[in-house]
Structure 1
Amino acid sequence: MAEGLHHPLSPALHRVLRRAVLDHATAEHRKAFLPLVHVGVPGRRETVFAVRPDEPSDHALRTDIVSAMVRRVRQPGAAPMVWLTRRDPLEAQDVDLAWLASTRSAYGELGLPLLMVVVNRHGWRDPRSGLSRSWHRLRAPAVG
């Protein structure tokens, strides 16, 4: 089987991925912003790294950054997920592929299963399998 997410997703995973999109859509209102790498669980514990185009970055440095982020948030149980938030459409971009390669290396070195998605204000996409989900009008679930 190919890497990444495939149908059917569990209801719990669907809720977590939807939460990542909703959190990004409600928190980021600027038209232009830096891509952010998140490691953790959306809506719970997470750590964030801003991807600045003016800072030097290579595969090894990105791998070290992801490893440090995982160690900061890791708790017993499931491995933390990685999500990259950005403003552009969800088609694969260089920034996605660079961070995917480094995240793969970091998770491989740590012996953890990898769950990584790219998120914008309207949806998410798995850069490995291409599986995606988007919403026209994403709203917070009703509480009651």
Structure 2
Amino acid sequence: MTAPGCLTEPVPRALEKVLRLAVLEHATTEPRRCFPPVLHVGLPERPSRHFEAGPDDVLDDALRVEVVEAMVRGPLERSFVPLVWLTRPDAEEADCDTAWLRAVRAAGAELGVALGLVVVTRHGWHDPVTGMRRRWQRIRRRS
């Protein structure tokens, strides 16, 4: 049994499109090769909220939960459960994924909604809980 907010096969077609858009948006708008992880709440290619910690910011679990709650509260007040995704460089690995996943799940529990986290890089996305992923060599806009 998969936890609420986690992705399972088959991924609904609409969600598959949204996640592909998140990868495409990240690949085409993030010019830096090296950048800190950025948490996003909303929908790709729409006005959404994002949080990027500064190089001197120290984030513990409680602060991360507060950040997620603050970002998610607006959409929830409009009866919309937003997508939560973390963009990061391809080479980075699970430490930040795990820390943000814990915060997203805790915030969801406090707000009474099942929230999941999808990790997005320039070449694909993955669910850090189930390990489900999609990857592209070169992602391009479809005509």
Task: Give the TM-score normalised by structure 2.
Answer: 0.91
Say which of 78, 84, 87 aligns to 1:85: 87
AA partner of residue 49 (structure 1): F
Task: Please give the secondary structure, in 2, of the residue aligned with 1:15.
Answer: helix
Contact persistence 1:20–1:42 (CA under 8 A):
yes
Q: Is the 8 A contact 1:89 1:120 kept in 2?
A: no
- Kindly state the Cα deviation for residue 89 of structure 1 after the two structures are TM-superposed: 3.9
Partner of 1:95: 96
In structure 2, the CA distance between the partners of 1:32 and 1:89, relative to structure 1 (3 Å rule), is closer
- Name the structure 2 match of 1:2: 2
Q: Where does the alignment leave 5 or more consecutive residues of structure 1 unmatched?
A: none
SS in 2 for 1:2: coil
Alpha-carbon distance in structure 2 between the residues aligned to 1:94 and 1:53: 16
Instruction: Output one character per residue of 1:48-81: Cα deviation in whole Å (capped at 9) or x when no partner.
Output: 0003342121111100000000123445444111
Q: Give RMSD over aligned pairs.
A: 1.6
Q: Give TM-score scaled by structure 1 length.
A: 0.90
Q: C-alpha offsets along residues 63-118 of structure 1, whole Å, 9 cap, x if unaligned? A: 0000000123445444111100001247x511110010011000111111213100
Q: Does 1:139 align with 2:140?
A: yes
Structure 1 CA distance, aligned partners of 2:114 and 2:80?
9
The answer to whether the Cα contact below 8 Å between 1:45 and 1:73 also exists between their aligned partners in 2 is no
User: Identical aligned pairs, as a percentage?
Assistant: 48
Q: Which ranges of 4 or more aligned residues in structure 1 deviate by more than 6 Å?
A: none
Report how many residues are paired.
141
Distance 1:75 1:135 in 2: 35
